[in-house]
Every structure is written in C-alpha cells, then in structure tokens.
Structure 1
Amino acid sequence: MTICKQTCQNNCSCKAAFFQYRLNASSGRCFLLSEIFTMKTVDALDYTALAFIKVQKVTSHRSSHQVARVVGSTIGSFVLLYFDQFPGMPTKFSYEELKTATEDFTKKLGEGGFGSVFEGSLKDGSKIAVKCLEGLSHIKRSFLAEVQSIGSIHHVNLVRLRGFCTWKSKWFLVYDFMSNGSLDKWIYHGVREQILEWECRKKMILDIAKGLAYLHEECRQKIIHLDIKPQNILLDDDFNAKVSDFGLSKLIDRNQSQVMTTMRGTPGYLAPEWLSSVITEKVDVYSFGIVLLEILCGRKNFDRSQPEEESWHLLHVFQKCWEQE
C-alpha cells in the first residue's frame, strides 16, 4: 500500500492511485491513474480498495481547507463511477453506447443554458433522451447534483434518470424519453392551437404537486429542486406530468429547517425568500404557485404581448383583481 502511494507521488503523470487487496493490506494490486475517471475501469467489487489522490502541496491553513473541499468533491465524483454496480442505481453508459443510441447525436430535441438534449433508442428498444453538458466547473456541479439527487429515488411524477456517462470534457445524463415534451409547449394559448381540457390541466397540477411532496417529505434527505418552471415539467404519452432537471437542486438533512445558499433558479419563478439567501423547500412551493397560475390562465408569468403594461406581470393582474374584490 505504501509503495503504491509513493510510486504515484514520484510519477509526474499520475493523478491518483488505486490499491486493491482481499485480506491483507500488505499485499495487493496497485493502479496508477493518469485520469481521475479511469477509475471506472478498475473492478473493485470483490476487494477492499483504497484511493490516493494527488493534490498540490499547501503552505497555509486556509489553503488546506480549500484542498479538503476539492478532495471531498473529487471523492464524491468517484462514488458516481460505481453507481451501475448496485441494483436500482443509474447505469454508467460508455460514450460509444450513447453515440450509437442517438445516431451520432443527430436528433436534437432542444437546447438550453446547460447543454443540448438528443433523442435516442437503447438496444432493448426503449426510447431515451440524452442531455449533453460540456465544460466548466458549474457544469460539473450540475451533473453531480442531478445524479446525487435523483440517482436512487423513484416516483411516478419524477423523470427517471436511466444513467450517465463521462467522456473527456463532456458529461451526459440519460433519461426516459417523454413524447409530449415540456409543459411550456402546451399551456400558453398563443403558442399552440390545441388548448388542454380543464381535467387534463387539473391532473397536471396534481402530478407536479405529488412529485414535489415526495421530494420534500418522503425522501431520506429533503430535496429542494430550486428551478420549478414549465420548461422543467415533462409530459409522457398520456400527459402525465413529471418533474425534471435537478441540476440546481439542493439536498438538506431532515432536521434542518432552512439552508443558506447562493441565489439560483429562473427569474419570474424565484420566491421573495431568495433576497435573504436563507431558504426552505417553500421556494419550490412559490415556483409551483406561479406555474399553477400559468396553467390556469394559459399565459406566461411575464408577457409583453398583453395590451396594457400593467397586465404584463400575471401576479399584478391577480393583485388588481383581489383589490377590486
């Protein structure tokens, strides 16, 4: 074990060392890794395993805390690589599998601030949607948040995360395909000719509420979504609504009544509590309320196409109606 650690320290190209042993740590197998995510190629199921991560030498107390945070997040990333080895956890796909499934990423379903989404089919015939995230650290955080939050939970009103893939600077998330797309394509009267029946809209509202109630009340840790909006509500063949896109989500312990975090989400759906940066799961309830009003009214929360400026904001319309009884 000690020799494995020293060998990596003396090798400039080594970024991490992985030591496996069965019964005695004095003898085992050592793997020197030039890339962190090549740890997936190491079969650790029948062994006790230790990981040694090379970090820059620090000279101050403050820097040591920074390194601790980096190492902690890195170890969290390692855990993701082994999710596919346990029943019920997301599968780790290879890049070639996703390339084949999406016909070389030719069927684009949409594009947003975090990347593009492509349609695909797996070998068993099931249809999937593949989200491709590229680049910077905030993209990595989004990827990790998504896998961590919904990787092991299942609910009929949450979009199922089938698996994930990491390849070079790209991060892929694989979901069940939702044939009717996102809610925003159906509820704004000016966008589609087909107006949903009231019973259908009522069911969608209940579906979203059930999904959020599960996240807030029935998981081991509370999961605050932090970006509830029509674009993040997907519809299946039967117009069942499912909450999706957990890239901004926050996990908090059940004994925590509130959490402090930097502002995140979409303007128009942000609760007033964000001004203090101290939030609870109620920020999702506020966003849900805005979505509910949009579903009922068939218009966006902020709509410049309205004839009068005082009608641009949907909440102002409701406030005026309330004042006029």
Structure 2
Amino acid sequence: MAPLTFLILFFTVPPYFFADSKFLYNGFHEGKGLNLDGAAIVKPSGALCLTSNSQNVVGHAFYPDPVMLFDPRSPSNTSSFSTTFVFAIDPSIPGHGGHGLAFTLAPSTRFDEAESGHYLGLFNPLNDGNPSNHIFAVEFDTVKGHGGVTNSRGNHIGININGISSVKSQLAASSYYVDDTVWKEIQIDSGDPIVAWIDYDGRSKNLSVTIGLLELKPEKPLILCHIDLTSVMKNQMFVGFAASTGIETSAHYILGWSFAVDATARQLKYSQLPNRPNEQNISSSSNNNSQLKSVLAVSSIIVLMAIVILTFLFIRMKKAESLEDWEKDCPHRFNFKDIYTATNGFNDSAQIGIGGFGSVYKGKLSSTGAEIAVKRVKRDSSQGMKEFAAEIESLGRLRHKNLVNLQGWCKKQNDLLIVYDYIPNGSLHSLLHTSKQSVILKWEQRFNILKGIAAGLLYLHEDWEQVVIHRDVKPSNVLIDADMNARLSDFGLSRQYDHNEMSHTTRVVGTIGYIPPELFRTGKASKSADVFAYGVLLLEVACGRKPLGSNQFILMDWVMEWYETGDILHVADPKLDSIYKVEEMEMVLQLGLLCTHWKQEARPSMRQVMRFLNREDPLPASDAWTNSQSIFESSSRLTMTDRSSSMSVGPISSASINEGR
C-alpha cells in the first residue's frame, strides 16, 4: 500500500475501527456499559433481562460502541463476524408465551417507532421491509400469526433482512451428537438455557446458525444459506439484542454473550453464567421486600433475620425445583463428556452386553481411574424413560453386598445412561452356559452364588424400608464379582410399595420361563413371583440347563419326573463330574421344586429360603409340594420358545412380557 493511501485511510477511518473488535460477557454484572433501552435491565444475578412477563413491552440491549463491518481495503466485501450467546425464554404460561427475541445488527440503538408483539421491537407496519432500515436480525420466534387473524405457538429460527418476514427459517432443532444425523426439536420457550452460534463469512457470503444445549456444540448447523449483506450493512453498525411481548408474554433472558469481527467468537464459560431468575419468585420477593420495609420501622433486627430466612428458603426452593423426584434419591449426575470419554465414544469394542433395554459398555473414568459399567438405555424404546427412572429410583438408595452398586446417572436429551460398579466376571448366565471348560463353576461356587442371590432378594422383600419386587430374576441379571459373589442387577422392571400395602401392578412383565402361572391370570406381581423365578434359577444352576429347550423341554417337569423316580441326582449338571455335596444338591433341587409350586401360597418366603439354605430349618415333607403341576401343563395356550420369539401367552404378546411395565 502506498504511504499516501495509508495516511488517507488512517485519518478517514473512524478510530473505533482500530479498537478491539472482540468482547465477551460471562454474565452481565453491573451492566458493563451496555446500552439498555425499554424494559431491558440487568438482574442482580448478572442475567440480562430484555423483557419481563408484562404485556406489550419491548427491550433493547446493545454493545455501546459501533463495530466496523466493511474493510476499507476491500469496500465491496462485508467483514466476517461471529457470535455465540446463551438465552432463555420463560413464558408466563407454559406453551403460551410470546413473542421472542432477535440478535440484531442495526445502524442505531434507537427504535423509537418500533412496535411490540410480532415486530420484536425492531419494526412497525410502516417501515416493515423498507431497505432503508439496514437491519439484519436472527429471530428466535415463539408466536406464529403475523398478518393473520389469530396467533399460534411458534418455535422457529428465522433470518430477517429489514423486516419481520424471514428470508430463511427452520423449526428450532439440533443434532445432538457428533456422529448422529437425527435432528430433534428444541422448545426455545422451555425456560432452559439454549446456546446459539451465528457465523457469517464476508467473502463466501455464507451464513450459518446453530443451536443446542450447553457444553457440546452440534456438528451440523440448523441453517446454512448464502446471503449477501453488502447492501444491508453500513460502515458502522451496532450489535445487540431486541425482544418484545404482546398479549402473550415471556421473560426473555441473555445469560452470556461473545462477539468478534473477522475472527471466531471466544468460547463462553458456562460454569460462570448466571442462572435464569424465576419471575414468579421475583414477584413474591418484591412483595416480601415491601412488607419488610414496613417492619423495618418496628425492628431492624427482625427484618435482618427475615431476610436471612427468606434467602435460605429461596435457595432451597430453587435447588428443589431443579430436581426430578427420582433424582433426589440419586443425586450423583455424571457429565456426559466424562462418560463419553470413558467408553471411548461408546465404541463397539467397549460393549460388554446387549439386551432389550439397550447396551452395556465398560469404561474407565479419567478422573479417578475407576472401572465402570454404563447401561445406555435405548433412545427409541417406548419404555426407556420409565425403566431408566425406575432403576435409578430403586437402586439409588439400596445398599447391599449382593446388589450391584449404582454410582450415578446421566441424562442428555435422548441419551439415558446408568453408571454402575464394573463387575469383572460377567453374568451367571454366561458362566453357566459357556462352552469354555476353563470357566466351569464348581459346586461350592454355585452354592455360594445361590445363597448370595437369596440374601439380596431377602433384603429387597423384607429388610429395606419398602418392599421391592425385582420382577426379572434370572441368571443374566446376576453378575459375579472378583470374589465369585453374586450381585443382583437390572432393576428396570422393579416395583416398590410400603410393607403394609399390596402390589398394584397390572401388567405381565419378565422373561418367559421365569414367570409364575398366577401372573397370567391376575397380572399382579408379588414377592412370591420373585420366589418362583428364584426357584427356576435354583434348578438352572444345579442342572446347568435353561428352563426351556428344544422339543418342548421344560426344566421343572424334567426335574419333577426324576424326583418321582427316586433318582433326582440324575439331573445334576454333568459338567460337575459328580463333584458336589449330595445333601446340598438334593436340598437345592427340592427347594427349586418347592419355590416353583403352581400355588403361590405354597411357596416359601425368601426368609424361609435363607433358613433352608443355611440348614437352619429342614425342607417340608415332600407330600406338601410333589403334587405341583407345571405352569406349562396348566396353561394349554402357552407356546414354548425363547425370549426373542414372536410367541404369545394367551392374549398377551411376548413384547409386552419382555418390555411392558
């Protein structure tokens, strides 16, 4: 550049062009010189409130200094700019708020003639669409119906040039995961913090708008379009926000903001951002403050004490409001990034199990080095959220050496994750039915495992503060730790009720082969249903055979037939090579038949089962239970097949049995 040209530019370009063209607000404490207009205020928390829940108001907040959006060396090109901000829209009535907010570039911070409602405090019916406005806006609109007779709920992002009609718009949505191509709608007036990223390339004339939740920016933008802003922008423009309400009202907040010209906007520190105030609580606080002023004349000491008490209650209430019921029982919520990293992005190589609920992954926390098991509940499961909440609610407070320990959980949109201690020896099912000879369970190990399962069920049925019915006791839900002790797991189908109440479950759930006959008639699970499933498990562990097999094989019938011949030891698992204590084997097999009695009142309680296993009580005489008949013999409508089949039990489909609640 020639020296004379440089001097001309130096003295003709306004001094703000050479000033810092980047700024960052992690909260707006004391306003930091923002140019506020209309209803806009900065809350004590540092949240920028553009409008309150008042009707027909507008609010503006702009950075006080203009920014240069034309490069003097290339006046035909608009400068690139980048911004990211966190906003929250809190409607006065859920689903019926209005009207939205807009990120705005304008030649002035004054909008004296602008109207509220659909015009967002930027335009009016006379200048709407006028090229002389020189206004660029990205609107976050919560009400549809501009130009129509009636309004309706809106939830879209639009690109506006000089008017309220969008040249490009999309339903508010986000692709939440880096490798996920599925878009999911985000309700921008949910009251939750939402992050927006807006980037404009002055050379390519490409504009991108992305929205998502905190921490993880979606890989794909919501809007990507070609827009030439050369005729819209002036040499100097002010950057900020506008919002408005109408008959429908919302409180519109900006919690943090970063902006840059010809550079990428700096990352916000989400942990430093203020919380969105609760407008209802603020209103209550205002009333309380007016009362405190009148009390102040009587006693300043009482006022100070009242302030301390109210502040304490307010903090407690805010904390309680942010928690769901089941979260209160298990407050340890993991960060999604930590779980994602621990499992190597849920890589297939880390997968250690799969079932109707989803998949289980082995992971290692980088912060502690502890090994964990992560259950990732299926996102497309109709019962996914119910089972997720049920398992956390059940395991969150349960503590017993024969139950799997719940470490915590993570819920990020459709990703439902439950984190347990990692149990190294896998499931009892895999150890019983594996073809590897090196992992054959010895009888002493099997007997110890059976006693451990019984101890866990006794704790659930009688020793905890409530009754917990597991409803899916089977070998694949029993994990074996490093000391070969049993840990009962998978409480996604469990139910809780008080000790002095009756179970009210009315749907058949569980796994075919472990479901008692009365459940098909009444649908009401009880402690005796768990006892029945435990009885099937006793026979399976002793015999090494699954409850159902080919050629209509039924384990309970087979064991009963050999018992009636007087040679019950014939059914013992041949892989044991007859190395077992005869009295223990006979007792386990007979106890299995007793627990699977077709009359539920004839089955023992888990406390009685423990006394039998510990040889504290003898088994009842055989004539008390040898007349039992199999569930399968008593139900001619049952077709035998495995869990993954499409069979039905009477009018109940296997899908409802495996997945119903």
Q: What TM-score, normalized by structure 1, do the two folds share?
A: 0.77
- Unaligned stretches of 5+ in structure 1? 29-43, 53-74, 84-88
* 1:287 aligned partner: 533
> Given the superposition, is the C-alpha separation of residues 320 and 81 from structure 1 closer, same or farther in structure 2, using an over 3 Å criterion?
closer
Contact 1:160 1:176 in 2 (8 A): yes
Q: Verify the 8 A CA contact 1:21 1:27 in the aligned structure 2.
A: no
2:384 matched to which residue of 1? 139
Counterpart for residue 344 of structure 2: 103
**How has the CA–CA distance of structure 1 residues 170 and 192 changed in structure 2, closer, same or farther, with 3 Å as cutoff?**
farther
Cα displacement string for residues 160-208 of structure 1 (whole angstroms, at most 9, x for unaligned residues): 1111111121100000000000001112365655321111111000000
TM-aligned CA deviation for residue 50 of structure 1: 9.2
In 1, Cα distance between equivalents of 2:422 and 2:316:
37
1:10 aligns with 2:10: no
Contact 2:91 2:189 in 1 (8 A): no
The one-letter code of the counterpart of 2:563 is W
Whole-Å separation in 1 of the counterparts to 2:191 and 2:319: 11
Q: Does 1:248 align with 2:493?
A: yes
Seen in structure 2, the aligned counterparts of structure 1 residues 240 and 220 have a Cα distance that, compared at 3 Å, is same
Aligned residues: percent identity? 34
Note the 1:1-325 alignment, pairs <5 A: 6=92, 8=94, 9-11=96-98, 12=142, 13-15=188-190, 19=278, 25-27=284-286, 46-49=315-318, 78-81=324-327, 89-106=330-347, 107-122=350-365, 123-133=367-377, 134-188=379-433, 190=435, 192-275=437-520, 276-304=522-550, 309=551, 312-325=553-566
**Residue 78 (structure 1) shift:** 1.9
Query: Counterpart amino acid of 2:371?
Result: K
From the superposition, tell whether residues 127 and 189 of structure 1 become closer, same or farther in structure 2 (CA, over 3 Å): closer
Distance 2:431 2:92 in 1: 60
Are the structure 2 counterparts of residues 2 and 208 from structure 1 closer, same or farther at C-alpha, using a change threshold of 3 Å?
Answer: farther
Query: 1:7, CA displacement in angstroms?
Result: 6.4
Are the structure 2 counterparts of residues 111 and 26 from structure 1 closer, same or farther at C-alpha, using a change threshold of 3 Å?
Answer: same
- The 1:90–1:234 alpha-carbon spacing in structure 2 relative to 1, beyond 3 Å, is farther
- Structure 2: runs of 5+ lacking an equivalent: 1-51, 55-89, 99-141, 143-187, 193-276, 288-312, 567-661
CA distance in 1, matches of 2:518, 2:191: 42
Output the CA distance in 1 between the equivalents of 2:448 and 2:314: 44
- Matched to 1:237, the amino acid is A
Structure of higher CA gyration radius:
2
Indicate if the aligned counterparts of 1:185 and 1:191 stay in contact, CA closer than 8 A: no
Amino acid at match of 2:316: Y
Q: Is the 8 A contact 2:363 2:374 kept in 1?
A: yes
1:260 offset after TM fit, Å?
3.3
How many angstroms does 1:111 deviate by? 1.1
CA-to-partner distance for each residue in 1:255-297, whole Å, 9 max, x for gaps?
1134332000000000112121123111011101111111111
Cα drift, residue 24 of structure 1: 8.4
Letter in structure 2 aligned against 1:117: V
| Kept in 1: contact 2:471–2:525 (CA 8 A) | no
Q: Distance in 2 between matches of 1:27 and 1:192?
A: 74
What do the CA deviations read for 1:194-235 (whole angstroms, capped 9, x no partner)? Answer: 321111111000000000000111122111000000000001
Question: CA–CA distance in 2 between the matches of 1:214 and 1:7?
Answer: 46
Quote the Cα distance in structure 2 between the aligned partners of 1:2 and 1:220.
Answer: 45
Q: How does the TM-score come out when normalised to structure 2?
A: 0.39
- Please give the alpha-carbon distance, in whole angstroms, between the structure 1 residues aligned to 2:433 and 2:333: 37
Matched residue pairs, number? 277
- 1:51 Cα offset (Å): 8.9
Relative to 1, partners in 2 of residues 1:115 and 1:27: Cα closer, same or farther, differing over 3 Å? farther
User: Matched residues in 2 for 1:214 and 1:100: separation?
Assistant: 35
CA offset digits 1:106-128 (Å, max 9, x no partner): 21111111111111112212110
Q: Which structure's residues are more often helix, by fraction?
A: 1
Q: Structure 1: how far apart are the matches of 2:382 and 2:320?
A: 23
* 1:128 aligned partner, one-letter code: I
Report the alpha carbon displacement of residue 320 of structure 1 after superposing the two structures with TM: 1.2
How large is the RMSD of aligned CA atoms in angstroms?
2.9
Q: State whether residues 189 and 299 of structure 1, in contact with CA within 8 Å, keep that contact through their aligned partners in structure 2.
A: no
Given that 1:225 and 1:249 are in contact with CA atoms closer than 8 Å, whether structure 2 keeps it comes out as yes
Contact 1:159–1:244 under 8 Å retained in 2: yes
Q: Which amino acid aligns with 2:339?
A: L
